[in-house]
Amino acid sequence: MRIALHDFAGHPFQFQLSRALAARGHTVRHFYFAGDTGPKGRTARDPADPETFSIEPLQIRRPYLKSDFVGRWRNDTDYGRIAAAALLRFQPHVVISGNTPLDAQGAILRGAHSAGAAFVDWVQDFYSLAIARLLSHRFLGLGRGVAAYYMGMERGILDRSDGIVFISEDFRAFAPSLAARQADISVIPNWGALDEIEARPKTNAWSQAHGLSDKFVFLYSGTLGLKHNPDHLLRLADAFADRPDTVVAVAAAGLGMDRLKADLAATPRPNLVCFPLQPFDRFCDLLGSSDVLLALLEDDAGDFSVPSKILSYLCAERPILLSAPLTNLASRVIEGAGAGVVTLSGSAEAFVEAARNLYEQPALRAEFAKKGRAYAVDNFDIGRVADRFEAVFERAIAAYHAH
């Protein structure tokens, strides 16, 4: 097959899938948005990559600001047009696209069909629910109309897709209209890039360079956006302010990171240190520098947002402290694997108390770390994952041509 895999965010595990499919003889081109500020996987070819694998970063002319709603709509529309044109040049048999804003995703779907390719909607999150959460009570009631428009757009994309991949069974509740299309829907949970994210020792090049090898480190890494409450990190730093051996480290980007830096400018906290997102070749050492890995998810993100950082954390063999709805898939994975502690997202007090317990119990931390890595080894085999995606693509191509 000629496979176009488009991941707006450029995350590590999607790149791993593209490389695995190319190693099976498929011609695979991986597309991603080069202007996105979030964490990235291996975005350049290396000598070990199959000849059938290529990468095409996509870019727009203007800066991409997520806080500018009108400008973001214009940028998403432009991006979708650019991505659709790139697909047409590649001439794939099938396109799979995920992590993509709806205005761009709709254009990519139309571009895939214009190129004679089947389209698979890889649903990592429901954008229309996030839009409804942000806009429903804004702009003198007009926000509700905007939210309803995007709700209809997202359902329309699902309806016109030749195949659908949900990352959680929970997602089926969003689209009851798809009940008659069960053959077109596959549930494939996300995974961590196990063969690329090694468990590293605490004392490594990155921790030594930043003076963290002899500190107890609570680490947050990845996107810190609207779904992640930075107040929990501030409260955690305050709770450990009297312990000079302890640091809260944040290597992140996003609107939440901007807010965190503004709070620190107003009220400095020497034990809370901020870093930019680290390139993938330093990612293992970054995670290895930690004693406890942190993740946050707001309550109103509900069941339809699953932080992919959790999956990388499991690979890194470190205990995880997650603040999130207990029904979220990430919460269920951590508790089921015995890989850490989950606290209710609305309670900074519970988050801090759980952090104290982990700080004081090294044996418990070690147990959580080993169980987390064991879960990753048992569940993140890229060969089995690639098998499932191959089957999805074959069914989607057949469905497209049957139409």
If phi over 0 gives left and psi between -120 and 50 gives alpha, with beta otherwise, what is residue 340?
A: left
If phi over 0 gives left and psi between -120 and 50 gives alpha, with beta otherwise, what is residue 338?
A: left
DSSP string across 169-191: GGGGGG-GGGGGGGGGEEE----
pTM (predicted TM-score): 0.90
pLDDT at 67: 62
CB 250 within 8 A of CB 222: no
Residues 6+ apart with CB under 8 A from 104: 8, 76, 77, 79, 80, 83
pLDDT at 76: 94
Distance CA 372, CA 360 (A): 19
Where are the domains positioned within the chain? 2-191+381-402, 205-379
Two tokens, residue 259: 């807010």
Asked if 2-191+381-402 and 205-379 have one fold, the answer is yes
pLDDT at 37: 81
CB 17 within 8 A of CB 382: yes
CB 263 within 8 A of CB 230: yes
Distance CA 43, CA 57 (A): 8
Residues 6+ apart with CB under 8 A from 28: 3, 4, 5, 18, 19, 21, 22, 52, 53, 54
Sign (positive or negative) of CA dihedral 96, 97, 103, 104 = negative
Distance CA 210, CA 282 (A): 13
Distance CA 340, CA 321 (A): 6
Q: Which CATH architecture has domain 2-191+381-402?
A: 3-Layer(aba) Sandwich (3.40)
pLDDT at 189: 93
pLDDT at 66: 67
CB 353 within 8 A of CB 239: no
CATH number of 205-379, picked from 3.40.50.2000, 3.30.70.360, 3.40.50.1370, 3.40.50.1220: 3.40.50.2000
Q: What is the pLDDT along the chain (403 residues), one digit of tens a residue?
A: 999 999 999 999 999 999 999 999 999 999 999 998 888 999 999 999 999 999 999 999 887 776 666 778 899 999 999 999 999 999 999 999 999 999 999 999 999 999 999 999 999 988 777 676 666 665 555 667 777 888 889 989 999 999 999 998 888 877 766 766 777 899 999 999 999 999 999 999 999 999 999 999 999 999 887 678 889 999 999 999 999 999 999 999 988 899 999 999 999 999 999 999 999 999 999 999 999 999 998 876 656 667 789 999 999 999 999 999 888 889 999 999 999 999 998 899 999 999 999 999 999 999 999 999 999 999 999 999 999 999 999 999 999 999 8
CB 246 within 8 A of CB 218: yes
3-state helix, strand, coil in the chain (%, to 5): 50, 20, 35
